[in-house]
Structure 1
Amino acid sequence: MPGGRLTEQDRRHIAAGLAAGLDYAEIARRVGRPTSTVTRELARNGGPRGYRADLAQRATRRRARRRIATAPQELSAAAFERDDETVREFAEQFAALMVDSGLPRMAARVLASLFTTDSGSATAAELARRLQVSPASISKAVAYLDGLEVIRRAKEGRRERYAVDDNVWCDAWSDSARTTNRWAEAAERGAEIFGATKPVGERLEHMGLFFARLGRDIAGGPVDTVAGEHALTVIAALVHSGTQLTPEQLAAALEWPLDRVTSALHDADRHPDLADPVAVRGNKAGTYYVVARPDRLTTAQRRRLAGTHRRPQ
């Protein structure tokens, strides 16, 4: 029902809509949910390019099983033979690292305090007492962190208890990979606009190659053997067809379920080394095709190669 929790079928519809190149509003309309619900769902589960219905459903079940224990016993540093002053000093150093990364100071102190507490959680009163600040300061910091979805809330009588989210670093890693890829794509477009043989174009060319390789390193990592084989099969199908195909066309040609094709396309996108030296691309029309991987050839090299292609006899 509209406004309720997303079902597994809803998530499959969202994945299919992404594969078809639909925008968030249209996807939301088709699943009968507010656009904000679809936006949050994608933000929490890999973004539009990394979203997979099965993984999102699994992650939701894991989050549902996690419960913050009511009124957990707060253990002191002394209970674990730790020096209170050393613990506080480390927490402040940890917070300083977050501030250097762009997090507001009070939000960083609250997050560092939660991370360095054995229960991983605290109420606003406990945080205010521990950090020796006003409840209002804690309230603003908590609201900021909640907006970033790096902490979770749970009712504890009339109070709320806040806890660190286990997936916070994984989500940050994914965001970093997406940002790096956007830098690479922007630099590549700039090189084409200014011309790869011109000083500006050459500078942007090198920048794009750097960020493309960096993004590949960030987004890399092991992929499940079966999933990797599925991705390779889809890539081979696109290479063999020599044309643009929709997920539905690929599913029909391979005699596969649509979900398997959608997942394989996402894996090919998230793990570019699988497809090396080609890359899988999609467009707004919802079709997919293969191109030479951007960081393998410079713009000048691609331009010189244009028009030299011969189809094998």
Structure 2
Amino acid sequence: MARVLPPLSALRAFEAAARHLSFTRAAAELGMTQAAVSYQIRVLEERVGTPLFLRGARQVVLTDAGRRLGTDASGAFDLISASFEAVRSGTSGVLTISVIPTFATLWLARHLYAFQLAHPDIAVRLQSNREIADFDKEPVDIAIRGGLPPSPSLVTHKLLRADFTPMLHPSLEARLGLPLHEPADLLRYPLIDPTDPWWNEWFAFAGVARPGFEVDNGHKMGGQDLEAIAATAGHGVGILTPFFYRDDVAAGRLRQPFDLLCPSDRGYWLCYPPGRRNAPKIRLFRDWLLSHFPEPSPSPA
């Protein structure tokens, strides 16, 4: 049976406009005029027999039909792009990974050599940053993010749960002469980045009142990778995810004074657009990474 397809030029213009919710930005991406994009979309609407956008004075909004077609069209174009790239480069080429600094520094950089030894034809390029990668605009193949679950429009794999607890250099307790017998004793300690929201969550979980920290005092380290450096230097107590610091604990550079681990619905996630799931270089990296995190901790009740 012959396929019933719309004009692909019209579908391409519509998909870009639906993704950006802007005819102007779609035109800039495709190297067309705004009038040409508008014309192509009207051609597609005539073929479909229903409006795909509600056009306002300053913005456009997708109709129900437009949302459905936009989602399917984006997935189809992603799949075509991934298939083309796979045929063109096979399992070789450059794999660009956007990764949050904590995961990049404390896990991926220490293990990536094994993937590269197994797949020497794939050149891995890491982009370590705290910003969320825009797969539509940036040359990024796959991302590892921290925090709450990424956008549902992406394929996501949970690697681990970001539970957290205080950690410090063993010498700090002796230097201050303040024994740590119970969680409230930490209120007398210098806390690295005391306005990190994890501190309030952990103290509340421990049943300890912490007055005076309801307002942000502006002291920010920016991430637990930097907090951990300060903690191992003995400058104070960091609020950290112990998974990343097992080697530091074993070597005596950090100590976890309490077994109390605050559960979190945050985590670390591998994510990529659905249309790339079968690209050989992404499939190989995904399978390798997930083999190291086969059973992520369940979310707290």
- Greater strand content: 2
Name the TM-score, length of structure 2 as normaliser: 0.21
- Greater helix content: 1
Name the TM-score, length of structure 1 as normaliser: 0.20
